[in-house]
Amino acid sequence: MTDKNTEPTEETAATETTEATEASQCTAEVVSETPEVETPKLSELEQAKLEASDMKTRYLRSVADMENFRKRITREKQDIIRSAAASVVESLLPVLDNMKLGLQAAENHPEAKDVTTGFKMVEGQLKNALIEQGLEELLPDGNDFDPNLHECIAQQASDTVAEDKVIQTIRAGYRLNERLIRAANVIVSSGPAKSE
């Protein structure tokens, strides 16, 4: 019995050893079939080209950033100049209004004709100087009422002026560089008078 017990154990051990050897050979074959992935070593020239390409990209980005910075600074500078000009022009608008009122009053006095002519010249020079700064006078008589540019201070019935048209400008409006700095005060037509 002892011999019989030892024989199957030896056969089992031999079978297991054979299976283990075959398994290791299969694994070795699979490993040898799979190519090893190695990072290719770059020559010094290729490395230098990659670095140069990277540096060129960084340089171009820096140049673009600098150009954008210059444009932004120029835009901001122009905005500052415009806002400074706007405050000066706004402070001169009452002067222009009073000069216009004074000239209208002086026209009723023929003895002050020479003085009136002189003041009209001064008014013209002041207007031209302001126009050079980008000032635009808004006198919308006869035009459509635009609430973005005009301020309606009254409505009046009119048989000659269509409804929602400006009958008369009471005080001129002004725009500076396409920006409204004062709306025009106007009287707007309400259409023909309604008979009761």
pLDDT tens, position by position, 95-115: 888 888 888 888 888 888 888
Average pLDDT of the chain? 81
Q: Please give the share of the chain, as a percent, with pLDDT higher than 70.
A: 79
pLDDT of residue 178: 84
Burial grade of 119 (CB within 10 A; 0-12, 13-18, 19 or more) = middle
Provide mean pLDDT across the span 118-144.
90
Q: Tell me how far apart the alpha carbons of residues 122 and 132 are, in angstroms, rounded to a whole number.
A: 15
**CA distances, 163 to each of 50, 138, 142, 143, 191 (Å):** 74, 20, 11, 11, 4
Q: What dotted CATH number matches 137-196?
A: 2.30.22.10
pLDDT of residue 101: 87
* Range 73-79, long-range pairs (CB < 8 A, 24+ positions): none
Predicted confidence band at 16 (pLDDT cuts at 50, 70, 90)? Answer: low
Overall pTM > 0.85: no
Q: Give per-residue pLDDT as tens, 26-85.
A: 444 544 455 555 556 778 888 999 999 999 999 999 999 999 999 999 999 988 877 777
189: closest CA among 146, 157, 143, 151?
157
pLDDT of residue 22: 57
Q: Give per-residue pLDDT as tens, 153-175.
A: 999 988 888 889 999 999 999 99
Residue 125 identity (one-letter amino acid): Q
* Higher pLDDT, residue 176 or 34: 176
Q: Domain limits of the chain?
A: 63-133, 137-196
pLDDT of residue 1: 46
